[in-house]
Structure 1
Amino acid sequence: MRTGLILPNDDIAAIVADAVGDWIEDGDIVCVTEAVVARSQNRYMSCRELADDIRAKLDLKPGARLAVVSPIASRNRFALVLRAAAMATRGGTVVVQFSLPYDEVGNQVIDPEFARTRLRLKKVYKSLLEARGNTPHLNILIREVVAALVLQQHGFQILAMRKIMGRGIADVTVRDPGGAVAPLEVTFSEVEKAVRQAAALKADMPEATRAYAATVDLARRTVTLYDAATGGAEPAVVGFYPYGDVEEDMRDPEAIAEAEVGEGAFRHPITGVDYRRLYRETILAGGAQAEVFFAENPLKVYDRGYLDGVILGEVHGREASRELFLSFGARVPVVTLDEIGPPPWGVIGSNVSNYDECRLKLLPEDADATAEAIRRAIRERSRKDVEVLIFGDGAYKDPDTGIYELADPYPAIGQSEGLRTVRLRTGLKLKMHVDTLYQQGLSREEIASRLSGARSAGADEVGTTPRNLSSLVATLADLVAGSADAGTPIVVVRGYLPSEGR
């Protein structure tokens, strides 16, 4: 349902009651998006106010080094929180640890194939280095892994490695930054031989349109790439890649440092945003230095050097992550998103209100009480007995994008008392029971009678999975309402509330 503009300090209860008017019926569930409720409550916070709060709660001194672990990748949901964190350090450093390859709600933050291949190669590299002391000939394998890791950093995709992966006919099979598939032969110094071998392999690979050779200098830590397509005696140098600055990072098989990603952009397949770059720029805009890396284990952040504080950026996994940090002996103050900013939600579930002015919109305050106030206003206006639910993001996973849309702590941010007392929604697996009874030869009337009796007796062991009714309704409302641009902040659900729940 549409309403007029809802602005700060408006009477949200009166507005909703007038909007539903006499159309409403007893037993309806009136769902109101949290966005307009929060706006009517003037629930806003500036980045400066948030920075001051972060600084006080983590006791950050000027030049502090602050970690932000497992943030959601979202300009709308997190970028301004990150800018405030940078401001809180007063010229310090913010270390961002992304989960890989996706954030908590399924946003891609790094190319999954790049991450899988790189972590696997780094594990092999570390193992080979540890074993090399007793078997010097392992340098032959080490040079191939080094070549693959270094070229991957410079935009080459590693498709196969004959000795390491057991696939392909070349030392390494790559797809170069231009999209061409090519064999790559690796050597220490025999360039001409490697060039001839690569050119010969290209002839045996119908999909190959280029060929490369590479020399690896393990002492000087350089990789030189040659064009081997012609098989000529004087191959052209395609690239010279020192890797000394990332060699230590290459030894860590549990994390991917930003330097290892190189200049390549990992754009989200739906939004087109490179969140690594966005968050780096956001931190710089907040007056701090930025360090970004990717790791699945939240505690890897402690490997990045001394820290003065940690902000856990997860929404749904925040308590588990907090317990993880505490169980391993948190070395510095650790806070979750609901602990920075004003109660009851902090900045969890916040949105950008004004990006240029660095202003956030927070979740509603005392949403249950607001839902009750709306219910009473509808009762007074329309003489109807309804329930009211204030909804945020729906709890569903988009099958097209793979994104779990719930970036708020719960689908139902607030609800009237009647909804809070409703049991989990259960029922018979109707489609299965109908099929079973029909196949037993029962008539339509007999099937209906059996189902009626089964419902009266309660759900059996093959009933539907119990669901929280408020979460279901809130998700439905979010899907129907669409974005705020639709101008439909109210959704009325009819015939869904079980009679025993009232």
Structure 2
Amino acid sequence: MKRLIGTRSIGLRAPIIEKGDDLVEIVFDSVKNACKNHEIEINDKDVVCVTESLVARAQGNYANIDQIAKDINNKFDGDELVVLFPILSRNRFSILLRGIAKSGKKLHICLSYPQDEVGNYLMDEMDLFNSDINPYKDVLDIDEFRKIAGEYKHTFTDIDYPKLYSEYAKNSEIHFLNNPVDALKFSKDVLVCSIHTREIVKRKLKEAGGKNILSLDEILDGSVDGSGFNEKYGLLGSNLSTENEVKLFPRNGEEFVLKLQEKLKNEFNKEIEVMIYGDGAFKDPVGKIWELADPVVSPAFTSGLFGTPSELKIKYIADNEFSHLSIEERTSAMVDRISKKEKELVGKNETLGTTPRQITDLLGSLADLTSGSGDKGTPIVLIQGYFDNYSNN
């Protein structure tokens, strides 16, 4: 009988991980035991996804606010510092702000408005539309902002972020602007805190005469007083751990995924892929938040996950080529058409409506939605059938 199940995503429960745990062995055992206890058959091209948090925790990749403050002072020697375009997040940025503020510098916290880079609003967009403010040009202080926004609170967290950030950084001023060059009127030393726009923002600031322009990936890109670090991403991808400590993005991910892949292949005798995943890349339709607050969806993955999907759009073909056939005939014709598809389909009409994104971004988003970020306790996700199509039995 033809297989009736296509892709499925299964969250696997795991023990609570701490520094020094053998994560390769733990993930391996979790997959093996789940397959045995729930009669799951492993197939070629199955994907084992492990959340970045597990990898970083096992590595002990943490830093405290004193170490953040020291690296800020190591890299900025002035008395004032612009903190430019941070996202609005207790989990992602509030702890970093406490470390930056502990440097003792006067901070100029410059927030983009009406929303941050990943879609968190700090004011009602209609209030801005109904004002005479030009968000592309106007720089607002806190009083001018309040006249428009009032005591606006975040849709989901009920937090007034300008107020919160002012409390975390007592020696600071809050400004609201969208042109990064406007921040240079407060200081020529700038810490760019945006995630995905950081390179173009830094380039613009340097061209406009900025003196010392760094971004979050350049803070804690090496160990400070024994801290954890990430040589590629620095503080990007970090999360609050305790009131005084952050968990950083994991290091040496390639080594981890290759070791785990080898162990899984030896056990199941199948071509299994492995990836580390963080935030998914999708947008919430209610809060308008783009989920991706990590610098990448997947910081490490095995070679079989490179590239983008090459798929036909079943609906397009069915409507344009097979609509005159009976249900049995068009089903058979579709199976035949997909089984004979070309490897390179970019730009072809029959691909209209497909999603030509990186495979790791798609898989990571699926894994993130499966595992959640709360108390499900499934930080390992097994994805099966993702590389199959309608013609595979």
User: Shared topology, TM-score over 0.5?
Assistant: yes
The alignment status of 1:2 with 2:19, answered yes or no, reads no
- Read off the aligned partner of 1:13 and give its amino acid letter: V
Q: Among residues 198, 202, 218, which one is paired with 1:339 in the alignment? A: 218
Q: Among residues 254, 269, 272, which one is paired with 2:138 in the alignment? A: 254
The alignment status of 1:291 with 2:173, answered yes or no, reads yes
1:172-251 paired onto structure 2 within 5 Å: none
Q: Among residues 96, 110, 113, which one is paired with 2:109 in the alignment? A: 96
Alignment correspondent of 1:495: 385
Q: Among residues 262, 266, 281, which one is paired with 2:152 in the alignment? A: 266
CA contact (8 A) 1:53 1:341 kept: yes
Change (3 A) 1:481 1:418: same
Q: 2:188 & 2:68 partners in 1: Cα distance?
A: 17
Alignment correspondent of 1:323: 203
Q: In the TM superposition, what is the alpha-carbon distance from 1:448 to its structure 2 partner?
A: 3.8
Alignment correspondent of 1:56: 74
- Residue by residue, what CA displacement relative to the aligned partner does 1:180-209 show, whole Å, maximum 9, x if unpaired? xxxxxxxxxxxxxxxxxxxxxxxxxxxxxx
Q: 1:443 & 1:84 partners in 2: Cα distance?
A: 67
Q: In the TM superposition, what is the alpha-carbon distance from 1:82 to its structure 2 partner?
A: 1.2
CA contact (8 A) 2:274 2:301 kept: yes
Q: 1:116 & 1:75 partners in 2: Cα distance?
A: 28
- Read off the aligned partner of 1:442 and give its amino acid letter: L
- Read off the aligned partner of 1:35 and give its amino acid letter: S
Q: In the TM superposition, what is the alpha-carbon distance from 1:484 to its structure 2 partner?
A: 4.3
Alignment correspondent of 1:203: none
Q: In the TM superposition, what is the alpha-carbon distance from 1:467 to its structure 2 partner?
A: 2.0
- Residue by residue, what CA displacement relative to the aligned partner does 1:408-445 show, whole Å, maximum 9, x if unpaired? 1111121122223xx31021111121122343x22345
Segments of 5+ residues of structure 1 without an aligned counterpart are 124-251
Q: In the TM superposition, what is the alpha-carbon distance from 1:490 to its structure 2 partner?
A: 0.6
- Read off the aligned partner of 2:130 and give its amino acid letter: T
The alignment status of 1:18 with 2:9, answered yes or no, reads no
Alignment correspondent of 2:5: none
- Residue by residue, what CA displacement relative to the aligned partner does 1:42-74 show, whole Å, maximum 9, x if unpaired? 00001111111121122x24xx11001111000
The alignment status of 1:442 with 2:328, answered yes or no, reads no
Change (3 A) 1:415 1:121: closer
Q: 1:336 & 1:345 partners in 2: Cα distance?
A: 10
Q: Using CA pairs below 8 Å that are at least 6 residues apart, which structure has the higher relative contact order?
A: 2
Change (3 A) 1:484 1:366: farther
Q: 1:407 & 1:326 partners in 2: Cα distance?
A: 25
Q: 2:68 & 2:201 partners in 1: Cα distance?
A: 22
RMSD: 2.1
Q: Among residues 345, 357, 365, which one is paired with 1:467 in the alignment? A: 357
- Specify the SS of the correspondent of 2:140: strand
CA contact (8 A) 2:145 2:176 kept: no
TM-score normalised to the size of structure 2? 0.84
The alignment status of 1:416 with 2:302, answered yes or no, reads yes
Change (3 A) 1:115 1:290: farther
Q: In the TM superposition, what is the alpha-carbon distance from 1:453 to its structure 2 partner?
A: 4.8
- Read off the aligned partner of 1:78 and give its amino acid letter: F
Q: 1:429 & 1:338 partners in 2: Cα distance?
A: 39
1:304-383 paired onto structure 2 within 5 Å: 305=186, 307=187, 309-330=189-210, 332-342=211-221, 343-355=231-243, 358-383=244-269
Q: In the TM superposition, what is the alpha-carbon distance from 1:491 to its structure 2 partner?
A: 0.6
Segments of 5+ residues of structure 2 without an aligned counterpart are 1-11, 36-40, 222-230
Q: 2:341 & 2:268 partners in 1: Cα distance?
A: 37
Q: 2:133 & 2:64 partners in 1: Cα distance?
A: 44
Q: In the TM superposition, what is the alpha-carbon distance from 1:328 to its structure 2 partner?
A: 2.4
- Specify the SS of the correspondent of 1:296: coil
The alignment status of 1:114 with 2:4, answered yes or no, reads no
CA contact (8 A) 2:137 2:179 kept: no
CA contact (8 A) 2:137 2:177 kept: no
Q: 2:310 & 2:161 partners in 1: Cα distance?
A: 41
**Aligned residue pairs: how many?**
353
Q: In the TM superposition, what is the alpha-carbon distance from 1:280 to its structure 2 partner?
A: 0.6
Q: 2:85 & 2:67 partners in 1: Cα distance?
A: 23
- Read off the aligned partner of 1:325 and give its amino acid letter: L
The alignment status of 1:428 with 2:312, answered yes or no, reads yes
CA contact (8 A) 1:337 1:347 kept: yes
Instruction: From the CA coordinates, give the structure whose radius of gyration is larger.
Output: 1
Q: 2:355 & 2:240 partners in 1: Cα distance?
A: 36
Alignment correspondent of 1:403: 289
Alignment correspondent of 2:7: none
